[in-house]
């Protein structure tokens, strides 16, 4: 069995990206949480107020022998808008920023190189504003945020915002889904 690695991504509301990555082969666990702020053990309410500096993120535990970090980056950049500063759709504030929190210099370089290629190829019409930040303190979100989409698929938010992301994932990455 190979060593498990971690990836931490912020792409707007964590409800929107958790179900995407949980469907990818090689992903062993996806957990919503908070990082990048200055308050210890923040609550969802505190993060939503926008005063803690935290981003809503997901922590992905994955097997690099099955899915590469670069494949996870490819998926990440395909399921959210990395060109809008501090917002994703109707979710506005730095807690919804597009961000990648790297664990080590190898991950940092891989992210920087990946973003550079996207910019050189002009994949997006506007500049990428995804923040690349060192992972510091990470706090797990409250239990009711876990598997929110899978537990509430009929809610309008889930149907109109999250389901299209999962369909996009299926259309673009169907060969690597569980």
Q: Would you call 144 helix, strand, or coil by DSSP?
A: helix
Active site residues: 13
CATH 3.30.1060.10 fits 5-176, yes or no: yes
Q: Would you call 11 helix, strand, or coil by DSSP?
A: strand
Q: Mean pLDDT throughout 42-51?
A: 95
Q: Token digits for 130? A: 């995804």
* pLDDT above 60 for 19: yes
Q: Give 9's strand partners.
A: 58, 100
Domain boundaries, the chain: 5-176
Q: Would you call 47 helix, strand, or coil by DSSP?
A: helix
pLDDT at residue 55 in the model: 97
59 and 8 Cβ atoms separated by less than 8 Å: yes
* Torsion sign over Cα 66, 70, 72, 78: negative
**β-strand pairing of 138-140 with 27-35:** antiparallel
Q: Would you call 139 helix, strand, or coil by DSSP?
A: strand
* pLDDT above 70 for 1: no
N-to-C CA span, the chain: 19
Q: What is the pLDDT of residues 101-111, one digit of tens each?
A: 999 999 999 99
When pLDDT is cut at 50, 70 and 90, the band that residue 89 belongs to is: confident
């Amino acid at each position: 069995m190979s060593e498990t690695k971690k990836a931490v991504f912020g792409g707007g509301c964590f409800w929107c990206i958790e179900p995407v990555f949980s469907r990818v082969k090689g992903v062993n666990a996806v957990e919503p949480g908070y990082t990048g702020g200055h308050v210890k053990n923040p609550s969802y309410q505190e993060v939503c107020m926008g005063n803690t500096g935290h981003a809503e993120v997901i922590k992905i535990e994955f097997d690099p022998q099955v899915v590469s970090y670069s494949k996870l980056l490819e998926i990440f950049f395909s399921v959210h808008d990395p060109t809008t500063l501090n917002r994703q759709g109707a979710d506005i504030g730095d807690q919804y920023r597009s961000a990648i929190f790297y664990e080590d210099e190898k991950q940092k370089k891989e992210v920087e190189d990946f973003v550079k290629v996207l910019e050189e190829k002009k994949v997006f019409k506007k500049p990428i504003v995804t923040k690349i930040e060192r992972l510091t303190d990470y706090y797990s979100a409250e239990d009711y945020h876990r598997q929110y989409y899978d537990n509430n698929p009929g809610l309008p938010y889930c149907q109109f915002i999250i389901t299209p992301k999962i369909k996009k994932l299926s259309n673009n990455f169907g060969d690597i889904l569980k």
